Amino acid sequence: MTTGETPHVAPLELPSETPPGSPPTLRPRPAGRPRRTSSRPAGTAAVVDCAVYVDGRRQEPVQPQDALRMAEDRGGFVWLGLYAPTGDELGAIAEEYDLHPLAVEDAVYAHQRPKLERYDDALFMVLKTATYIEHEELTATSEVVDTGEVMVFLAERYVITVRHGEHSSLAELRQRLEDQRDLLCLGSAAVLYAVADLVVDTFVDVAGAVEEDVEELEASVFSPERTDDVGRLYQLKRELMSLRRAVSPLEVPLQKLAERPVDVVPEAMRSYFRDVFDHAIRVRDQVAGLDELLTSILQASLARTQMADNEDMRKISAYAGIIAVPTAIAGIYGMNFEYMPELDERWGYPAVLLVILAAIVLLYRGFKRNGWL
């Protein structure tokens, strides 16, 4: 199901005490520059999908305002999927599910660092998503990595996913999970595991695609042809930094889920998170290795550019030395003195030309033998 498809889900009604269109008050904060929120395409509902799962099976369609009650009555959990909700929309859901206002604020404004926080008996996790942007040729302005975010509110009876970014759809993930009843039987933590696993697997794909760009630039830098790759190298290094910011901070939250007991995460789920943690470590090392390799290639490119400039300067200096000899001889014989060698001889002029030619040939051979030309 895409973000624009909501066949059986209606948006939550706003609380009666909140005037429509009024800005949300998530928590007291000092006045300052307003913070920007993510936007979604016009006509797209905030609620992407809402379902209650009992014993690993999806139940009949239910409205978001009734889902939690059904889950509690039947001993299951709710999975509510949201896409770039506004403060009013998420505020209504927060009141229904008793979400902490600080976590709600982070979910509305996005642009958060990957983290895991605990509020009473619930968890709030932020994951950065990434996607590789295809391009025919890497240039100094190419966009290579695009990032988004997925926030997860997790408790025993509900899991709420809030995503920002067009490329981080969870519709296919939900379908795959619904085919894995044994995993869903482990509870709401299975959804958090599946989301984290999807995010990390995407990092693996993105890192592999970026590695191909790095190899292409490496071949270009060390090719026999003279190329200027500094701009492309710097741009790719900047784009790789975005991926590194998404991958590296994820290590600590996943380690906590894999190694420390958490009330809402069953013991049986810790091994699953340990597997995701191992994958995240490998991706982190791969991204760090690519970053170091790019730094080395950039240094090599700068060194090659400097060597090429030095080679040009040697050539210029060599030709200037060659031209200096006939210039000096012609300058001497251009002086208006009566008594100068061979002025009265018929062979004087050809002799001077031969001397100039011989000097030029000797200098050229000497510079050529020394590698200056």
| 131: nearest Cα among 27, 205, 232 | 205
- pLDDT at residue 125, rounded to an integer: 95
- pLDDT at residue 33, rounded to an integer: 47
Assign a CATH topology to domain 309-370: Methane Monooxygenase Hydroxylase; Chain G, domain 1 (1.20.58)
- pLDDT at residue 20, rounded to an integer: 44
State the virtual CA torsion across 217, 222, 228, 232 in degrees, nearest 10.
10
Q: What is the mean pLDDT of the chain?
A: 83
Looking at residues 60-85, what average pLDDT do you find? 93
- pLDDT at residue 74, rounded to an integer: 94
> In percent, how much of the chain has pLDDT > 90?
47
Over 60: is that where the pLDDT of 139 sits? yes
Looking at residues 35-41, what average pLDDT do you find? 61
Over 70: is that where the pLDDT of 265 sits? yes
- pLDDT at residue 172, rounded to an integer: 92
Using 50, 70 and 90 to split pLDDT, how confident is the model at 94?
very high
Using 50, 70 and 90 to split pLDDT, how confident is the model at 355?
confident
Give span(s): CATH 3.30.460.20, the chain. 47-306
- In CATH, which of 3.30.930.10, 3.40.630.10, 1.10.240.10, 3.30.460.20 is domain 47-306? 3.30.460.20
More confident residue, 280 or 362: 280
CA distance 141 to 119: 42
Looking at residues 22-30, what average pLDDT do you find? 47
| 151: nearest Cα among 195, 184, 187 | 195
Name the most confidently modeled range: 118-127, 226-235, 310-319, 340-349: 118-127
Using 50, 70 and 90 to split pLDDT, how confident is the model at 221?
confident
Give span(s): CATH 1.20.58.340, the chain. 309-370
* Residue 319 Cα to chain centre, angstroms: 49
Q: Characterise 75 by phi-psi region: left (phi > 0), alpha (psi -120 to 50), beta (else).
A: left
- pLDDT at residue 338, rounded to an integer: 62
- pLDDT at residue 5, rounded to an integer: 41
- pLDDT at residue 320, rounded to an integer: 81
Q: Which residues, other chains included, contact 246 with Cβ-Cβ below 8 Å and sequence gap of 6+?
A: 114, 128, 129, 130, 147, 203
| 245: nearest Cα among 179, 147, 319, 171 | 147
Of 91-95, 179-183, 191-195, 348-352, the least confident? 348-352
pLDDT tens digits for range 191-205: 999 999 999 999 999
pLDDT tens digits for range 158-173: 999 999 988 778 999 9
Over 60: is that where the pLDDT of 6 sits? no
Of 59-73, 138-152, 325-339, the least confident? 325-339
pLDDT tens digits for range 299-339: 888 887 777 766 767 777 777 877 887 777 777 666 665 65
Report the residue count for the chain: 373
More confident residue, 3 or 118: 118
